[in-house]
Chains A and B, each alone.
Chain A
Amino acid sequence: MKKDKKELAKLKESTYFHKGHLSLMGKRAVSGYLFILPFLIGLIGIFIPSIIDAFIYSTHEITNTPTGYELTYVGMDIFANIRKEGWFLWELQRTVTKMLYNIPLIIFFSFFMALLLNQKFKGRTAARAILFLPVIIASGCIIQVENSNALAGLMEAGDTVDAINSMDITTFLIGIGLSPSICETISTVMTNIYAIISQSGVQILIFLSALQTISPSLYEASSIEGATGWENFWKITFPMLSPYILTNAVYTIIDAATSHTSTFMNVIDSVNNQSIYGMETAIAFSLIFFAVIAAILGLFVLLISRLVFYYD
């Protein structure tokens, strides 16, 4: 066993080196590093130091002094305090459950919409432009301005609009004579629709661009062989789109976790602004939150990568 490992290591080494010189594989590896050099510099020069600093801040108490700030080591106290705060775990659990059922819905919806928008029909350009709007509306300054509105809700996540719509529908359904519990489910779905539509702009665009890359000659060939549209979808469209399902799953999870609309980010923001907690608690909160998200991400990637088909 030990010998095997040694041999394997030797073999591995010999893929990159040959008689003390770089082999062909080694040369390719060097070019690979050259291509990802920008990221490597950013990672080592900017990202990792910042993360380490953030972690240092979270284990220290920060006090402002006239010349800057001072750090006092408090160790893992902050993490221990968080465990005492029951609402933190409750909030975390709520966010995570919401994410778990929204993610498949968003991916399914955007996949379906991309297929629809890829067909030829009148007003396709207009429909595509409109479905791209949420990407603009839900970004940066616009969402910020909306959040600060006293009469917010006209646009931000459409809360008021939805509330009115779903209220009407609920009274209508109860009038018909459906049981309240069914009505409640329907109205929850209704309120969720806008959230899903507004969160799937990016995903629709990714799927759409992926659909465009499938060569029409593939469909031509299979149709000549007598494949039906249904078979074409499962044998060509779905496998060719599968790498992008993975992309979109990763993006959706990250977006749901880190966007302005994420409830948990708001919790972190408000903790950051409260004097009893302060910034270090906020950072500690976010570190725990990201550990959880990373676990979910790993789970989804594992599940979906079984479906993925790559050309090579």
Chain B
Amino acid sequence: MIKYLEKFKKQPLTDDEEYNAYVRKKKLKAKTLDIGIKIFRAILIIGICYYILYPLIAKLFSSFMAEIDVYDTTVGMIPRNWTLINYERAWKGLNYLKSFFSTLGLTILNTVCQIAACTLVGYGFARFKFPLKGLLFGMVIFTLLVPPTTIIIPTYLNFRFFDIFGIIGLFNGGLGINLTDSIWSFVVMGVTCMGFKNGLYIFMVRQFFRGVPKELEEAALIDGANHLRTFWSVMLPSAKPILTVVSMFSIVWSWTDTFYQEWFLKTADLLANKLTVLASTVANEVLGGSNTFDDAYANIIKSSGIILVILPLIIFYIFAQKQFVEGIERSGIVG
């Protein structure tokens, strides 16, 4: 009986060769698993990227298509006659250089105002206790929940006859000042957290600050810094990753925003505004006279326009993304 059991006893690894074989086997197993995971990951990522990129690539190819190819049914996705004429027309139709710089200016202004205000507010909600805090934070979510379309008319009237609690009205007969058709409406909305999806920025910043250990802040307070100073020199540097993400959203959404721009800056040359009417602009103004496009060719002009508008954003993202990865490694948050 004992002899029988001894058969199953694990043999001590006395032999070097046997030990090496065991290690090799284990390593092989780990390696197979690793390769399996890598292949799975690659397939998944490539598949998803394909899903996202396919329509964009189709657009990119079609933007290089000459007008004859559009009506040629034998031409598939890839153009037969490559041309840059669509871009030339879209460039003129968008009035690209001028629109680019004015959009850039508006975007920077918008982003700076919104992010500055939302960071302060988010920090206030994350770190202070005060009466009615729950209700007020509920209101932040509520501002997000109400789509701008619902309240745009009252908001527009508000800015048309802008007044601060009736003070300005005292001087000019109760009409207030007209802030529409100027960047001031954007500034006012930005610094009061009423811009597009600003509630989301407040929410994100608050979630971030709630996750930062309190010790950092307390140390600064004990050393004699006041709240603003603590915020500025201790909390803000550590918030770099979240601020990068939030500004990225703000930049993209101001860059492509047509809604607020149509209401408050109708007359300015801005990329988003120009893009929505690009096909007819190109037909009427660039080519002149009574030209009209049929839908197929108008589509190609639109594709070129879209590529011109989103290209700066993509380039910007590639740089900013690097920044936010590096920013975190230096931020020095220690758990």
Contacts and interface: CB of A to CB of B under 8 A. Distances in A.
Contacts of A63: none
Interface string B231-264: 1000000000110110011001101111100000
Contacts of B38: 121
Interface in B116-166: 117, 120-121, 123-125, 127-131, 133, 136, 139-147, 149-151, 153-155, 157-158, 164-165
B153 A215 contact: no
A92 B111 CA distance: 35
B305 interface: yes
A78 interface: no
B145 A297 contact: yes
A227 interface: no
A299 interface: no
Contact of A39 (B44, B202, B257): B202
Interface string B303-324: 0011001100110011001101
Interface stretch (B7-15, B54-62, B282-290): B54-62
A206 B324 CA distance: 12
B193 A142 contact: no
A57 B296 CA distance: 42
A43 B207 CA distance: 21
B92 to A, nearest CB: 17
A304 interface: no
Interface in B266-310: 271-273, 275-276, 278, 295-296, 298-299, 302, 305-306, 309-310
A268 B152 CA distance: 14
A145 B306 contact: yes
B213 interface: yes
Interface stretch (A93-101, A168-176, A246-254): A246-254
Contacts of A54: 150-151, 153-154
B220 interface: no
A206 B245 contact: yes
B321 to A, nearest CB: 6
A232 to B, nearest CB: 13
Contacts of A49: 154, 158
B48 A212 contact: no
A311 B248 contact: no
Interface stretch (A3-11, A25-33, A83-91, A178-186): A25-33
Interface in A192-231: 193-194, 197-198, 202, 205-206, 209-210, 212-215, 217-218
A38 B193 contact: yes
Contact of A155 (B55, B120, B125, B144): B55
A155 to B, nearest CB: 4
Nearest to A135: B252
Contact of A243 (B55, B120, B211): B211
B56 A155 contact: yes
B140 A32 contact: no
Nearest to A30: B130
B189 to A, nearest CB: 7
Contacts of B129: 25, 28-29, 32
Interface string A20-52: 000001001111111111111111011101110
Contact of A144 (B192, B258, B328): B258
B115 to A, nearest CB: 12
B200 interface: yes
B325 interface: yes
B208 interface: yes
A50 to B, nearest CB: 4
A107 interface: no
A145 B314 contact: no
B158 A50 contact: yes
Which of A31, A132, A140, A206 has the most C-beta atoms of chain B within 10 angstroms of its own C-beta?
A140
26 contacts: A29-B129, A29-B131, A33-B124, A35-B120, A36-B125, A40-B136, A45-B165, A49-B154, A119-B41, A130-B49, A136-B252, A139-B256, A140-B255, A140-B272, A141-B272, A144-B276, A148-B276, A149-B299, A151-B296, A197-B48, A198-B52, A205-B245, A212-B325, A217-B334, A254-B200, A283-B150
Top 9 A-B pairs ranked by shortest CB distance?
A32-B128, A35-B124, A42-B192, A140-B256, A53-B154, A150-B295, A141-B272, A29-B130, A155-B55
Interface of B: 38, 41-42, 44-45, 48-49, 51-56, 58-59, 117, 120-121, 123-125, 127-131, 133, 136, 139-147, 149-151, 153-155, 157-158, 164-165, 188-189, 191-194, 200, 202-204, 207-208, 210-214, 227, 231, 241-242, 244-245, 248-249, 252-253, 255-259, 271-273, 275-276, 278, 295-296, 298-299, 302, 305-306, 309-310, 313-314, 317-318, 321-322, 324-325, 328, 331, 333-335
